[in-house]
Amino acid sequence: MKLATFNINGIKARIEALPAWLDNAKPDVVCLQEIKSLDEGFPREVFEGLGYQVETHGQKGFNGVAILSKLALSDVRRGLPGDDTDEQARWIEAVVDGPRPVRVCGLYLPNGNPAPGPKYDYKLAWMTRMEGRIRDLLASEEPFVCLGDYNVIPQAMDAAKPENWVTDALYLPQSREAFRRMLNLGLTDAIRARQPGPGIYTFWDYQAGAWERNNGIRIDHLLLSPQAADRLEETGIDKAVRGGDKPSDHVPVWVRLAA
């Protein structure tokens, strides 16, 4: 079972690039972030025509997450628990059915800039809520994967130039500490489990020749529960997508689990 995450930075802007990648990469399940579309505006027919079940949690103009799955989905849930007043569309989860089901939690964690400030407070509070959801899922002992754009640079080696990020919400100590707290619950960072060295990035800014200079950061992560980590076979980052026509500033990141 191949599970992928991809911040597409606008479904309409990527309406040709995304199907092309799907046809080439052939993931079974994809969690998308920043679809920037209401549910009714999402071009689901395009992806249903490729054999995917489509579930969305959209928002006009920004945010928005979705799951595309070639396998049946059940128990679809929208919105991160813990704050009924939160109207930002940043979390969607579902059980991918099959002989060995796995729950996928697709997330678009808040950026948090400028920090300090209300946006950073929201980021940290959101991460605390996510930690609570992870604790609940761990207690159920079902296999699950939390995959998406975390907007967190976990370590210095996850940035080509970490010195440029020391005052940014993505790299502030509190952000990295909150990320470590989730990992320390017993989750596995899938990419690091297979690719422990430096120079591995998932995002290159559109500005200042970041792509051409390989001035990237790793902020798209797949965290596996112990039951999912036991099935880990392979991971990858489809870096070449960033050099394609009308690319997102992120690239797909994926993991293959034993069926």
Which of 28, 52, 57, 149 is the catalytic position? 149
Active site residue 201: no
Instruction: Spot the catalytic one: 120, 168, 171, 250.
Output: 250
Cβ proximity of 222 and 243 under 8 Å: no
Given a cut of 90, is residue 162 above it in pLDDT? Answer: yes
The answer to whether 149 is a known ligand-binding residue is yes
pLDDT at 154: 98
β-sheet bridge partners, residue 92: 78, 106
Structural domain spans, the chain: 2-257
Please give the C-alpha separations between residue 21 and each of 5, 67, 68, 122, 148, in angstroms, as whole numbers. Answer: 12, 15, 13, 33, 17
CB 250 within 8 A of CB 202: yes
The stretch 227-238 carries a mean pLDDT of 98
Contact present, 223 and 182 (Cβ < 8 Å): yes
Question: What percent of the chain is modeled with pLDDT above 90?
Answer: 99
Amino acid 21: pLDDT: 98
pLDDT over 90 at 98, yes or no: no
Question: Helices H, strands E: what count in the chain?
Answer: 6, 12
Is 249's pLDDT higher than 90? Answer: yes
To the query of whether residue 121 is one of the catalytic residues in this protein, the response is no
Count other C-beta atoms under 10 Å from residue 45's C-beta.
9
Encode pLDDT of 74-94 as tens digits: 999 999 999 999 999 999 999
Residue 258 has pLDDT above 90, yes or no: yes
123 and 110 in contact (C-beta within 8 Å)? Answer: yes
Question: Has 63 been labeled as part of a binding site?
Answer: no
Residue 94's nearest CA partner among 112, 111, 79 is 79
Angstrom distance (rounded) from CA 6 to CA 223: 15
Helix axes 118-140, 173-183, angle to 10 degrees: 10
Closest Cα to residue 187, out of 154, 218, 136, 223? 223
7 is in an annotated binding site: yes
Examine the residue annotation and report whether 39 is marked as an active-site residue of this protein: no
250 is in an annotated binding site: yes
CATH class, range 2-257: alpha beta
Mind listing the pLDDT tens digit for each residue in 122-153? 999 999 999 999 999 999 999 999 999 999 99
Catalytic residue among 52, 57, 108, 189: 108
- Strand, coil or helix: what is 174? helix
Q: Phi/psi at 74 (nearest 5 deg)?
A: -140, 170
pLDDT at 3: 98
Mean pLDDT, residues 62-72? 98
245 is in an annotated binding site: no
